[in-house]
């Protein structure tokens, strides 16, 4: 099943966050690249639906080095899945779908890669949104999970850029045998590995050979040796 949701107004998103207790300690954490949440022995017995809200924190104040005009995120694309599927992987070569998403913001052929995982039984649902061009707004969609596909991965291009993106990999929405009520992740920037550009508006320079995907370590996203998140991602159980 494929879901396409448009960008919602920030006022609506703010109401959703407030209702879910955004200001409370609800397990907020940074999204460790390539890390999957440990699965407990107990599992839920019924499916669940989560609202997915992505808010940009990629600003000229927090990321002043060469901050570009026209900064935006491509539309989100992601899937609910099991541990056998990886949308991307730190230390792994990018798939053709991830490479095009990171370089051009296009959802294809990444959507076909996800559909193949669905056909193989390793993914449950594909979801995506339109681009986020006004950072006062947020990207909002929903994703369905079930006991056999409790993980969620998603990505969005950081644009303009050579091949930089943000996202999360294999985040498990089960904790202590039950669906979590809500979780907040702080998302870093990644370098897909398909282009050698080092500035936001660098000309196309295909990496030959291609490099493995890595957490972005360039000055655009690191301050005083510390990675500065570019987005906040929130999962809210419906």
pLDDT in tens, 59-77: 999 999 999 999 999 999 9
Q: Summarize the confidence of residues 8-24 as an average pLDDT.
A: 40
> Over the stretch 117-135, which tens digit does the pLDDT of each residue have?
999 999 999 999 999 999 9
Q: Summarize the confidence of residues 133-154 as an average pLDDT.
A: 98
- Report the pLDDT value the prediction gives residue 205, as an integer from 0 to 100: 85
- Report the pLDDT value the prediction gives residue 22, as an integer from 0 to 100: 39
The predicted model scores a pTM of 0.85
- Report the pLDDT value the prediction gives residue 45, as an integer from 0 to 100: 96
Tokens of 200: 């936001």
Phi, psi of 96 (to 5 degrees): -55, -35
What residues contact 7, with CB distance under 8 A and at least 6 apart?
Answer: 129, 130, 131, 132, 134, 137, 138, 139, 140
Could you tell me what percent of the chain has a pLDDT over 70? 83
> What average pLDDT does the structure give for the chain?
88
How much of the chain is in helix, strand and coil states, percent to nearest 5? 10, 35, 50
- Report the pLDDT value the prediction gives residue 30, as an integer from 0 to 100: 56
Comparing C-alpha atoms, which of 167, 223, 163 is closest to residue 199? 163
What is the CATH number for 30? 2.60.40.2130
The answer to which of 1-5, 92-96, 215-219 has the lowest mean pLDDT is 1-5
Q: How far apart are alpha carbons 10 and 124 in whole angstroms?
A: 29
Predicted confidence (pLDDT) at residue 176 exceeds the cutoff of 80 = yes
The answer to which of 3-17, 139-153, 163-177 has the lowest mean pLDDT is 3-17
Would you say 165 and 216 are in contact if contact means Cβ atoms under 8 Å apart? no
Q: How far apart are alpha carbons 234 and 76 in whole angstroms?
A: 13
Q: How far apart are alpha carbons 18 and 14 in whole angstroms?
A: 6
Angle at the Cα of 93 (from 52 to 220), degrees rounded to 5?
A: 65
Predicted confidence (pLDDT) at residue 194 exceeds the cutoff of 90 = yes
Q: How many folded domains does the chain comprise?
A: 1
Q: How far is CA 184 from its chain centroid?
A: 12
Higher local confidence (pLDDT), 67 or 205: 67
- Report the pLDDT value the prediction gives residue 23, as an integer from 0 to 100: 36
Burial pattern 166-178, b for ≥16 Cβ within 10 A else e, equals: bbbbbbbbbbeee
Burial pattern 183-215, b for ≥16 Cβ within 10 A else e, equals: bbbbbbbbbbbbbbbeebeeeeeebeeebebee
Please tell me what DSSP assigns to residue 228.
P
Helix and strand numbers, DSSP H then E, in the chain: 3, 17
| pLDDT range class, residue 163, cuts 50, 70, 90 | very high
The answer to which of 15-19, 182-186, 208-212 has the lowest mean pLDDT is 15-19
* Residue span of the structural domain in which 158 resides: 2-39+47-237
Q: How far apart are alpha carbons 185 and 34 in whole angstroms?
A: 14
């Amino acid at each position: 099943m494929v879901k396409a949701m448009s960008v919602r107004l920030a006022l609506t998103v703010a109401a959703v966050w407030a209702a879910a207790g955004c200001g409370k300690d609800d397990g907020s954490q940074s999204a460790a690249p390539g890390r999957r949440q440990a699965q407990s022995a107990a599992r839920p017995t019924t499916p669940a639906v989560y609202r997915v809200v992505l808010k940009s924190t990629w600003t000229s104040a927090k990321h002043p080095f060469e901050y570009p005009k026209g900064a935006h995120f491509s539309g989100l694309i992601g899937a609910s899945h099991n541990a056998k599927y990886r949308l991307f992987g730190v230390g792994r070569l990018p798939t053709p779908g991830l490479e095009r998403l990171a370089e051009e913001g296009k959802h294809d052929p990444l959507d076909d890669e996800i559909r193949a995982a669905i056909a193989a039984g390793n993914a449950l649902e594909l979801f995506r949104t339109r681009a986020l061009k006004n950072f006062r707004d947020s990207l909002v969609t929903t994703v369905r999970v079930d006991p056999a596909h409790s993980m969620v991965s998603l990505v969005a291009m950081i644009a303009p850029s050579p091949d930089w993106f943000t996202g999360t990999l294999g985040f498990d929405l089960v904790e202590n045998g039950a669906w979590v009520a809500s979780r907040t992740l702080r998302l870093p920037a990644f370098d897909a590995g398909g282009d050698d550009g080092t500035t936001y508006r660098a000309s196309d320079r295909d990496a030959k050979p291609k490099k493995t995907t890595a957490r972005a370590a360039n000055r655009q996203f690191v301050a005083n040796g510390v990675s500065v998140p570019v987005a906040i991602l929130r999962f809210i159980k419906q």
